[in-house]
Homo-oligomer: A and B are copies of this chain.
Amino acid sequence: MAMPAATTLLAWTRLLRAADLASQHCAATLRSLGLPPPEWYDVLLAIERHGAQRPRDLQAALATEQYALSRLVDRMVKAGLLIRVPCPDDARGHTLHLTIEGRAMRAAMWPVYAEAIEAALGARVVEEDRTALARLLAPLAEPVSA
């Protein structure tokens, strides 16, 4: 029942609040322009960068839950941005490919996403402090058990 240090509590509340505000701002900005939420961008980008992938690989890369990704892919397939192609050497799985529309959507989202990130973070913290922030957050961006 050790009471955490005051600095721990302060850092804790600010960390959670800052991340919440930032992601909210970003999601709201995309939404206000009729664009899909940030997660969609992350999926589209991952596939565009590293080629067609299987769900389990995306799952690891994006640090998302298995069922959450499964349903996210469902929605993106339904929206015509992704297609599921049966995996030749593993009948359990499939690979996820971008459609033309998927590629176009990623391109359309980027300027908006980038602008939102800039507004939420870049424009509010100077370069030097962003570097320090990234360094301090590095250990926290790894799983707790590790």
| Residue of B whose beta carbon sits closest to that of A128 | B7
A125 at the interface (CB under 8 A from B): yes
Q: By the criterion CB–CB under 8 Å, are A7 and B114 in contact?
A: no
Interface of A is mostly: helix
Q: By the criterion CB–CB under 8 Å, are A11 and B141 in contact?
A: no
- CB A27 to nearest CB in B, in angstroms, measures 11
Within the assembled complex, what's the spacing in Å between the Cα atoms of A131 and B110? 34
A129 to chain B: which residues have CB within 8 Å? 136
- With contacts A15-B18, A25-B144 taken as known, whether A125 is within 8 angstroms of B136 at the C-beta atoms is yes
A75 at the interface (CB under 8 A from B): no
Stretch at the interface among A46-54, A77-85, A86-94, A116-124: A116-124
* Total chain A interface residues with beta-carbon distance under 8 A: 52
- CB A40 to nearest CB in B, in angstroms, measures 15
Q: By the criterion CB–CB under 8 Å, are B127 and A132 in contact?
A: no
Contact of A20 among B19, B110, B121, B122 (CB under 8 A): B19
A16 at the interface (CB under 8 A from B): yes
A137 at the interface (CB under 8 A from B): yes
Contact of A118 among B8, B21, B141 (CB under 8 A): B8
Contact of A125 among B2, B22, B23, B140 (CB under 8 A): B140
- CB A110 to nearest CB in B, in angstroms, measures 8
